[in-house]
Amino acid sequence: MSIFKKGIYFGVAVCDVSTGEFYATQINQNNNFERLLDEMSRFTPAEIIANDLLYSSTEEIAKIKERFGLYISKVDENSFSTNTDNLVANYEIVTDKGEKVNRFDDKLFTVSAINGLLDYLNQTQKIKLEHINTIQIYNTNKYMALDISARRNLEITERMRDKSKKGTLLWVLDKTSTSMGGRMLRRWLNDPLIDITEIRNRLDAVEELKNNLMLRGDIIENLKKVYDIERLIGKISYGNANARDMISLKNSIKQLPEIKSILSTTSSKLIQNLYQNLDELKDVYTLIDRAIIEDPPISVKEGGMIKKGYNEEVDELKSATTDGKKWLMELEVKEKEQTGIKNLKVGFNKVFGYFIEVTKSNLSQVPERFIRKQTLTNAERYITEELKNLEDKILGSQEKLINLEYDLFLEIRCELAKQIKRIQDSANIISTLDVLTSFATVAEDLNYTKPTMTEDGVIDIKGGRHPVIEKMLPSGAFVENDTYLDKEGDRLSIITGPNMAGKSTYMRQVALITLMAQVGSFVPASSANIGIVDKIFTRVGASDDLSMGQSTFMVEMMEVANILKEATSDSLVILDEIGRGTSTYDGLSIAWAVATYIADKEKCGAKTLFATHYHELTQLENQVEGIKNYSIAVKEKGEDIIFLRKIVQGGTDESYGIHVAKLAGVPAPVVKKANEILKSLERKSALTQKATEKENKKQPAGQLDLYNYKLAELAHEIDKINLNELTPIEALNTLVKLKESVS
Ligand code: ADP
Ligand code: MG
């Protein structure tokens, strides 16, 4: 990735040199640096080059290194020129819709970043990379913005704990048949769309593939025979493809006409489009098919690659080598007759070449014209004029053949390199088809439903499930839940419930369903209306987020700050126990203030799910418009609790943490003590509750009431006194102590 910084703006260009994909954009709206980080996490580059200004911005560089831990180097400012001559002459420059770009004066940061990257590639790769031929200039507004912590938290393509693919959304959705399709799926999941038409087109295509079993089966069967065309093209462009790679390419291309004819009967717009644009590459197929044998050797410098009939000279040289064997046998028979030596043999070794071998007992019969070459214990070896000539002919033609085959091979590879763009386009269509088919298969297998996309800002999910947790649990064990969020009275849900009840799971499920819908996938729900969101944010309280390392609370607050700045009324925000990383009062105060701010339509108004263990926040429902309380139901059964996993309206006031402690096997005396402490604390807050209710009436909405702990303490002490057991003296002493504690 190359990043060009000018003022507060950035140009970004990124290239995968193995496949030739090249994208570029510029960032010139608000909060540019945060957006730059979003772009970086979208592509997760392996290496970054920067211009002077960025490279010397120590704070920004430090942040990039901290978050991505990658290699950044500075490149000369001259590389980042705004000159477009080279670009226009040598590259196809298109928009994300595939239209040709004609105007660059409004894209100068982009141009600089592209030039910087191309220059760097030229210098480091040393050859012209034919497969880098199209540059797509995209608009950052085309995709849903997903900040780094959302990508990580939602475990879209890798797990937080071990970076593995298992247990991620990608793992659930990946039923692709080709590695190209697998890579494209990963890209799609990282780039959810926001354009309603584009999303609907994908969904309609998935629907058709899901419903038409025959069509899907035929497509999958053919896709399975397609190799990684993109990587093969990369090898051709780099000049290290061998004849076997060409055969792989041929066998892949072989499927194209079949796939095209399968697609001809489809009706959805997107698949029809793929059908129309699919180039069958018949000429490329024919070229390889005519020239290269089916099972060529790995080496390209030892011959044996070119098919019979492709080149006359190759055929002649080949027959010279095979005919050679015949000539030698004929020579042996002739010499036996002429000399009368019955066991005379023609042989070959690497040092002496061809020879005639005669055993010692027959030496007397050897004629003059035999020239001695080598003496063995039992025999002598000779050469003759005639044998020498044969040898030249045989060995010479072999060498010529190897050289000629190599030259022809290079010619063919060069010819293929000229067709790279067309091959790439077909590969892209195959990948797209593969991803859509994968979505259809998953939708069918896992009973997903087609979401209805709208632009009214309402998220209305019935019977929603978490795609990953559902798959990890025994079939049918996952408990479905509904969700309703809108831009009016149901903007922010405060979700309470005991530990382990399923709060985090529920909130992530809503985010994942929304994301899946905008990627174009069916979703795990019985029905889903998804009002398209522009961004998804998630923030998990510091102590829940083990992967963060030190200064977690600071990081937590930085990310909260970013959410408050960036979230719009079209965004979806998931806040999971924020404020946990600090003391109770700090944490509660922050959580309270953050919830109030987000709920404020004037300031933010994003759709928000807010899980918290601060039950005090449930008071907000009555105070702030747009906030609703929910909790995840549990059932008490004697001493124990049963997790019902059902989200219900209304808050809880019990945390059941002690029940969980008991379940986990914390020793009985500790559990008992904890219960006692809890009871006495509850008595205190029951008292303060009345006081706060009175005050609430006077206070403006959103202001936090802190408890009068002294009063509670006192009440608790009085409550503890057992009047039946108290002597008059003890009563007096108690009264003295109480008085002391108040003064
Ligand atoms: P919380 O955030 O409330 O502490 P989690 O969301 O982490 O709880 O859920 C704890 C565990 O409960 C999950 O790992 C999962 O195994 C299970 N779980 C959560 N939601 C459901 C559900 N809807 N159906 C079945 N099991 C669930
Ligand atoms: Mg949780």
Write the pLDDT tens digit of every residue in 34-44. 889 888 888 88
Q: What is the mean pLDDT of residues 610-636?
A: 90
Q: Please report which confidence band the pLDDT of residue 699 belongs to, taking 50, 70 and 90 as the band edges.
A: very low
Give which of 5, 109, 21, 12 is closest to 58, Cα–Cα: 5
DSSP string, 284-330: HHHHHHHHB-SS--S-SSS---BPTTS-HHHHHHHHHHHHHHHHHHH
3-state secondary structure of 516: helix
C-alpha 524 – ligand 1 centre gap (Å): 16
Per-residue pLDDT, 550: 46
C-alpha 501 – ligand 1 centre gap (Å): 6
C-alpha 507 – ligand 2 centre gap (Å): 9
The closest ligand to the CA of 481 turns out to be: 1
Q: What is the mean pLDDT of residues 294-323?
A: 91
Residue whose Cα lies nearest atom 4 of ligand 1: it is 500
Check if the beta carbon of residue 444 is closer than 8 Å to that of residue 316.
no
Q: Which DSSP helix (H) or strand (E) runs through 141?
A: none
Give strand pairing partners of 637. Answer: 640
The closest ligand to the CA of 505 turns out to be: 1
Is any atom of ligand 1 closer than 6 Å to the C-beta of 500? yes
State how far the Cα of 79 lies from the Cα of 99, in Å rounded to an integer: 27
Is any atom of ligand 1 closer than 6 Å to the C-beta of 153? no
C-alpha 153 – ligand 1 centre gap (Å): 15
The pLDDT of residue 284 is above 90: yes
C-alpha 476 – ligand 1 centre gap (Å): 14
3-state secondary structure of 3: strand
Q: What is the mean pLDDT of residues 135-160?
A: 88
Q: Which two tokens stand for residue 655?
A: 């945390």
Give strand pairing partners of 87. Answer: none
What does each C-alpha distance from 724 to 195, 716, 721, 731 come to in angstroms?
75, 17, 9, 11
Look up residue 570 and give its DSSP letter: T
Look up residue 540 and give its DSSP letter: E
C-alpha 599 – ligand 2 centre gap (Å): 22
Residue whose Cα lies nearest atom 10 of ligand 1: it is 500
Q: Which two tokens stand for residue 125?
A: 């790769």
Q: Which atom of ligand 1 is nearest to the CA of 577?
A: 2
Helix 709-720 × helix 668-698 angle, to 10° = 130
Sheet holding 379-383, edge to edge: 345-349, 353-359, 379-383, 371-375
State how far the Cα of 96 lies from the Cα of 104, in Å rounded to an integer: 15
C-alpha 612 – ligand 2 centre gap (Å): 9
Q: Which atom of ligand 1 is nearest to the CA of 472?
A: 16
Is any atom of ligand 1 closer than 6 Å to the C-beta of 503? yes
Q: Which two tokens stand for residue 70?
A: 């990658």
Per-residue pLDDT, 568: 92
Higher pLDDT, residue 659 or 543: 659
Check if the beta carbon of residue 220 is closer than 8 Å to that of residue 196.
no
C-alpha 633 – ligand 2 centre gap (Å): 15
State how far the Cα of 13 lies from the Cα of 86, in Å rounded to an integer: 16
Helix 385-418 × helix 282-291 angle, to 10° = 170
State how far the Cα of 141 lies from the Cα of 163, in Å rounded to an integer: 28
What does each C-alpha distance from 371 to 349, 351, 387 come to in angstroms?
17, 16, 11
Is any atom of ligand 1 closer than 6 Å to the C-beta of 505? yes
C-alpha 499 – ligand 2 centre gap (Å): 7
The pLDDT of residue 703 is above 60: no
The closest ligand to the CA of 646 turns out to be: 1
Burial class (CB in 10 A: 0-12, 13-18, 19+), 309: exposed
Q: What is the mean pLDDT of residues 644-651?
A: 90
Check if the beta carbon of residue 177 is closer than 8 Å to that of residue 220.
yes
The closest ligand to the CA of 471 turns out to be: 1
Burial class (CB in 10 A: 0-12, 13-18, 19+), 543: middle
Q: Which atom of ligand 1 is nearest to the CA of 576?
A: 2
The pLDDT of residue 131 is above 80: yes
C-alpha 611 – ligand 2 centre gap (Å): 8
Check if the beta carbon of residue 701 is closer than 8 Å to that of residue 621.
no
Is any atom of ligand 1 closer than 6 Å to the C-beta of 645? yes
Residue whose Cα lies nearest atom 26 of ligand 1: it is 478
The pocket of ion ligand 2, defined by CB under 5 A, consists of 504
Task: Find which of 266-280, 371-385, 722-736 is predicted with most confidence, using mean pLDDT.
Answer: 266-280
Per-residue pLDDT, 548: 47
3-state secondary structure of 497: coil
C-alpha 581 – ligand 2 centre gap (Å): 14
Q: Which atom of ligand 1 is nearest to the CA of 466?
A: 23
Tell me: the pLDDT tens digits for 511-566? 999 999 999 999 999 999 999 999 999 988 655 544 444 467 777 888 888 899 88
Q: What is the mean pLDDT of residues 484-504?
A: 92
User: Residue length, the chain?
Assistant: 743
Best substitution site from 505, 577, 613, 644 to test ligand 1's pocket, by max atoms within 8 Å of Cβ? Answer: 505
Is any atom of ligand 1 closer than 6 Å to the C-beta of 504? yes
Per-residue pLDDT, 702: 37
Q: What is the mean pLDDT of the chain?
A: 88
pTM assigned to the model: 0.79
Residue 163: CB atoms within 10 A of its CB come to 10
Is any atom of ligand 1 closer than 6 Å to the C-beta of 581? no
Q: Please report which confidence band the pLDDT of residue 139 belongs to, taking 50, 70 and 90 as the band edges.
A: confident
Give strand pairing partners of 213. Answer: none
Q: Determine which of 308-312, 497-501, 589-593 has the lowest per-residue pLDDT on average.
A: 497-501
Per-residue pLDDT, 720: 78
Is any atom of ligand 1 closer than 6 Å to the C-beta of 469? yes
Best substitution site from 159, 482, 493, 500 to test ligand 1's pocket, by max atoms within 8 Å of Cβ? Answer: 500
The closest ligand to the CA of 544 turns out to be: 2
The pLDDT of residue 659 is above 90: no
Tell me: the pLDDT tens digits for 189-244? 999 999 999 999 999 999 999 999 999 999 999 999 999 999 999 899 888 899 99
The pLDDT of residue 369 is above 80: yes
C-alpha 503 – ligand 1 centre gap (Å): 7
C-alpha 34 – ligand 2 centre gap (Å): 27
Q: Which atom of ligand 1 is nearest to the CA of 503?
A: 3
Q: Which residue has the tokens 């905008």?
A: 518
Per-residue pLDDT, 654: 65
Check if the beta carbon of residue 455 is closer than 8 Å to that of residue 196.
yes
Q: Please report which confidence band the pLDDT of residue 127 belongs to, taking 50, 70 and 90 as the band edges.
A: confident
What is the CB-side half-sphere exposure of residue 443 using CA atoms within 13 A? 29
The pLDDT of residue 263 is above 90: yes
Task: Find which of 285-289, 350-354, 495-499, 646-650 is predicted with most confidence, using mean pLDDT.
Answer: 285-289
Residue 69: CB atoms within 10 A of its CB come to 7
The closest ligand to the CA of 655 turns out to be: 1
3-state secondary structure of 427: helix
Per-residue pLDDT, 705: 39
Q: Determine which of 213-222, 688-697, 699-708 has the lowest per-residue pLDDT on average.
A: 699-708
Q: What angle do CA 677, 678, 683 make, to 5 degrees?
A: 100
C-alpha 172 – ligand 2 centre gap (Å): 22
The closest ligand to the CA of 645 turns out to be: 1
Is any atom of ligand 1 closer than 6 Å to the C-beta of 479? yes
Q: What angle do CA 489, 490, 493 make, to 5 degrees?
A: 135
3-state secondary structure of 567: coil
Best substitution site from 469, 496, 509, 644 to test ligand 1's pocket, by max atoms within 8 Å of Cβ? Answer: 469
Check if the beta carbon of residue 25 is closer than 8 Å to that of residue 139.
yes
Q: What angle do CA 3, 427, 215 make, to 5 degrees?
A: 130
Residue 489 CB partners (closer than 8 Å, separation 6+):
625, 626, 628
C-alpha 631 – ligand 1 centre gap (Å): 13
C-alpha 604 – ligand 1 centre gap (Å): 29
Per-residue pLDDT, 135: 94
Is any atom of ligand 1 closer than 6 Å to the C-beta of 501? yes
Residue whose Cα lies nearest atom 6 of ligand 1: it is 502
Is any atom of ligand 1 closer than 6 Å to the C-beta of 502? yes
Give strand pairing partners of 16. Answer: 21
The closest ligand to the CA of 660 turns out to be: 1
Residue whose Cα lies nearest atom 23 of ligand 1: it is 479
C-alpha 262 – ligand 1 centre gap (Å): 44
Residue whose Cα lies nearest atom 12 of ligand 1: it is 502
